[in-house]
Structure 1
Amino acid sequence: MKFLKQATTQTTTKRATGMPWKVAIIDDEEQVHAVTQLVLKNTHIDDLPLQFLNAYSAAEGLRLFQDHPDIALAFIDVIMESDDAGLQLIHKIRNELGNHTTRIVLRTGQPGTSPEETVIRTYDINDYKSKTELTDTKLKTCVYSSIRSYRDIITIETSKRGMQKVIAASDSVLRSQTLYQFGNAILNHTIQLLGIKTAEMYLISQHVDLFGDAEMILLAATGDEVKLDTHWSADIMPADVKKIIQQTLTQKQSYRDGSIFIGYYHTNSSTESVLYTRFHEEHSALQDEILTLFAANITLIFQNLHSREHIQETQKELLLVLGDAIEQRSKETGSHVRRVALMCELIALKLGQSSEYAEMLKYASPLHDIGKIGIPETILHKPGKLDDAEWEVMKTHAQIGYELLKNSTRTIAKMGARIALTHHEHWDGNGYPAGLKGDDIPLEGRIVAIIDVIDALGSERAYKKPWQENDIIQYIRERSGKQFDPAIADAALELFDHFREIRHNFPDHMQH
């Protein structure tokens, strides 16, 4: 494998693309065009040739600039259609077209007509020459200095735009809600700043845990030929790419080979990363080095974020396990809380809530019946209808659940406390434990109230058979405005097909 070569100093867009420098000659004398091109035809600046663009009037010159905004240098005659045609053209180039990068050299055969000091003070030009004083040597000197000035201005402008992109990009990066969004946002903005066109780009991290198990994680992916889907994992990579990445992890070396650049980074004893890039076009060692810096830094950031996100995901998973455990104790299905969680998330989004709220509800909703751990098993497992005394005991599970969670400062637990306390309240005020009515019931409590009922009615229990879908729909319609918030009831009915799909994916497994 080849180690990365030292970066060169060829940083301008012209050098990267090999495009010639455009020189416009705007003059109504054909001889001026011919002589200028004859003198400059073999001139190369930074190893790039000149491309001549010709116009014989100010009107043609304006169209030339409209068609070629990247003209490096323009020689403009003062007197063409009128005595000040060239001056008016310069005014339009600078003010109407907003072109302030092209270097403009004003040439005249009649210097007295337009005094040099007045013209330079009034018009945004870079030099003023009499046609008679532009000898071969002076003409070449003028071209070299003007194009080098243009080159430097373009470099500064490119850097300025790059900084503007960095500032604009920071907002989307900081708004990223997951590691994958963060990695992709950083990656996309990096290649935009570098002006890179990639066919494929993958950033992979491999982490070895305390038990020696290795996990390959896809941090970011982009490129014209990258096939992204909803299943974000290393599986989206083609087999040949994955093989190269695995070889790189084994050999622990970076290399570049033609259109492919692969960077290897060993950030600590348990984490390694590989950046695989296949370019559409020729790229520079400088671009490779910047990508190397990007990959190394994002890997370090990932390690810190991954530890935090891993803890958060573990906590969320434990909430589902806790909900399952409560159901197991109630001799009910082990899938109810998972279905309720997914259905609550759907309906929250349907109601126009933020994705953050919907996700929070998804993980807080499994706590709705946590208070049942304080209910005697004789009541929980009674196959028949509860008597009045038993029913009063059963109703206390709402308050018990709230008491268990109310002192937590964590958002999910705080929402879980509100849900546990209010998911049996009714829209008309006839629920329990507090008899809250209408909007006095927290939104999350109103959502879980209807979702819990929809899923329970469709599930088999030891004391009942599952209801038919038409019967559930009819029940929701009848109880809308009484037991349930009418707006949420309407949303639930519209999402019924999605609820059916969730039930299909997470079926009941009755315990007998």
Structure 2
Amino acid sequence: MKKDLEPEELLGVILEYAAKIANERSLDNVLMLMADMGKQIVVSDRCTVWLLDNQKGELWSKVAHGVSELRVPLGAGLAGHSVATGEPIFIDDAYTNEEYRDVLLNGALRTDQQTGYRTKALMVIPFRNNEGEVIGCYQAVNKMTASEKFSERDLRNLSLAASYSGKSIESAMLAQEIEETQREIIFTMGEIGESRSKETGNHVKRVAEYSYVLALGLGIPQQEAEILKMASPMHDIGKVAIPDAVLKKPGKLTDEEYDIMKTHTEIGYNLLKNSKRRILKTAAIVAEQHHEKWNGKGYPRGLRGEEIHIYGRITAIADVFDALGSDRVYKKAWELDRILNLFKEERGQHFDPRVVDVFFEQLPTILNIRDRYADDVLEQQQNG
């Protein structure tokens, strides 16, 4: 049987999690840390962090101990009641409580019947944003000490955590919203570059997904792979400045026209290079270097081998794979076997050998992405 935390232990837990949360940008990870902190503070078996989704009229939990993502209608269950009233809820035994009997029968007790879990003590504490609006709540389940009941001390301690949580979650949600806005702008700008050359905007979606899979396969940390995924749609943004006569020419380009086309890499880099945002700094690298070749015969700078940034080497193979497999104004789509044979031939020539190897290792996933984001599939989804 566990014991309540001593004051110094409680302070240690709060300081430990405060430091972790302060350095965390991912909303999902912040929510998990919040749930872990709440669970330790009140010595509960489970702890769920619920957030209010006003748009959908729901409460949702991305992470909860013992379960996956949950969504319930606003006002449903103890969490919904607490969020609606702004008041905390204490229940010593869910099976004998009369005040919330109907709510429990439609919530915790029904879940117990489905899962075999035995809910006894419950505590729900709402938390607020900087404007004082309730944006979610903590829900602790089953006290793990000898008393098996949550106390006034638990209420004070979890209320303290809830006060901190509301502000931390609001900051994480704002950071996520900013990131999602950046991602949307980047995809839109990438699609503009592609649409000028009469190429589908779905090309940038596929290149983004391929780049992410290749980055992970190369051992790049997930957060960095996510940044590359968000940045890679900008690889051809420099095409916005290429004349239509060159960009949309159906036949083979002359040497002079090809020189003009090649400038899209430098144009894209110059558009993005001065940004201090990590996503756009990554996009600047990708825009400039995705046509460099491992053997030094690419452009614009003729970089060789590992002189080419790994982002450029990854996006190069993602871009070529999708371009060859798609109809363009100057050619028909290649068959898969022909593309794969080319990659084998160009391993160590056009492409980084290690990236080629990872490409073949991840080929089933890449082909699944190609099918999922096929032009006709996305068009059907948009029209349907």
TM-score, shorter chain, exceeding 0.5? yes
Aligned partners of 2:39 and 2:279: how far apart in 1?
Answer: 37
Which ranges of structure 1 fall in alignment gaps of 5 or more residues? 1-11, 17-154
Q: 2:249, 2:329 within 8 Å by CA — same for their partners in 1?
A: no
Amino acid aligned to 2:37:
H
- Is 1:261 matched up with 2:123? yes
Matches within 5 A, 1:215-294: 216=58, 218=60, 221-224=63-66, 227-228=67-68, 236-237=70-71, 242-258=76-92, 259-267=121-129, 268=131, 271-279=134-142, 281-294=148-161
Alignment of 1:101-500 (within 5 A): 158-166=6-14, 168-169=16-17, 172-198=20-46, 201-206=47-52, 213=55, 216=58, 218=60, 221-224=63-66, 227-228=67-68, 236-237=70-71, 242-258=76-92, 259-267=121-129, 268=131, 271-279=134-142, 281-500=148-367
Q: Structure 1: how far apart are the matches of 2:196 and 2:57? A: 35
Which SS does the other structure have where 1:197 is aligned? Answer: strand
Equivalent residue of 2:149, what SS? coil
Residue in 1 that maps onto 2:111: none
More deviation in 499-508 or 170-179? 170-179
Q: 1:205: how far off?
A: 3.0
TM-score (norm 2): 0.80
Change (3 A) 1:273 1:436: same
The 1:166–1:239 alpha-carbon spacing in structure 2 relative to 1, beyond 3 Å, is same
Distance 1:329 1:270, change over 3 A: farther
1:396-445 Cα deviation digits (max 9, x unpaired): 11111111112222222222122111111111111111211111111111
- Judged with a 3 Å threshold, the aligned counterparts in structure 2 of structure 1 residues 241 and 282 are, in CA distance, closer, same or farther, namely farther
AA in 2 matched with 1:245:
A
Deviations 1:438-493 (A, max 9, x none): 11111111111111001111222244332222221111000111101111111111
TM-score, scaled to structure 1: 0.61
Q: Which has the higher contact order (CA 8 A, sep 6+)?
A: 2
After superposition, the CA RMSD in angstroms is 2.8
- What one-letter code is carried by the residue in structure 2 that aligns with 1:250? A
Residues 377 and 420 from structure 1, CA distance in 2 versus in 1: closer, same or farther, beyond 3 angstroms? same
CA contact (8 A) 1:202 1:220 kept: no
Letter paired with 1:182: V
Q: Is the 8 A contact 2:60 2:72 kept in 1?
A: no
How far does residue 336 in structure 1 lie from its aligned partner after superposition? 1.0
Q: Give, in whole Å, the separation in 1 of the partners of 2:169 and 2:59.
A: 11
Please state how far the C-alpha of 1:175 moved relative to its aligned partner: 4.7
**Structure-2 separation of matches of 1:174 and 1:427:** 41
My pick for the range that moved more, 214-223 or 179-188, is 214-223
Gaps of 5+ in 2: 93-120, 380-384
Residues 350, 215 of structure 1: CA spacing in aligned structure 2 closer, same or farther, 3 A cutoff? farther
Match of 1:263, SS state, is strand
Higher strand share: 1
Number of the residue aligned with 1:39: none
State the distance in 1 between where 2:253 and 2:172 align: 50
Contact 1:187 1:220 in 2 (8 A): no
Q: Distance in 1 between matches of 2:15 and 2:86?
A: 35
CA distance in 1, matches of 2:165, 2:14: 15
State the AA in 2 paired with 1:435.
G
Per-residue CA distance 1:14-65 (angstroms, 9 max, x = gap) = 7x7xxxxxxxxxxxxxxxxxxxxxxxxxxxxxxxxxxxxxxxxxxxxxxxxx
Q: Which amino acid aligns with 1:264?
A: P
Amino acid paired to 2:122: I
- Pick the structure with greater CA Rg: 1
For residues 168 and 271 of structure 1, what CA distance do their matches in structure 2 show? 26
SS at match of 1:222: coil
The answer (yes or no) to whether the contact 1:205–1:273 under 8 Å persists in 2 is: yes
Separation of aligned partners in 2, 1:159 and 1:270:
30
Q: Residue 265 of structure 1 contacts residue 273 of structure 1 at CA under 8 Å; is this kept in 2?
A: yes
User: How far apart are the structure 2 equivalents of 1:311 and 1:239?
Assistant: 27
Give distance in 2, aligned partners of 1:406 and 1:276: 46
Structure 1 residue 499, shift from structure 2 partner: 0.5
User: For residues 351 and 202 of structure 2, what CA distance do their matches in structure 1 show?
Assistant: 23
Query: Contact (CA 8 Å) 2:51, 2:60: kept in 1 or not?
Result: yes
Identity score, percent: 32
1:85-137 per-residue CA deviation (whole Å, 9 max, x = no partner) reads xxxxxxxxxxxxxxxxxxxxxxxxxxxxxxxxxxxxxxxxxxxxxxxxxxxxx
Alignment check: 8 A CA contact 1:262 1:275 kept: yes
What is the CA–CA distance in structure 2 between the aligned matches of 1:161 and 1:353, rounded to whole Å? 37
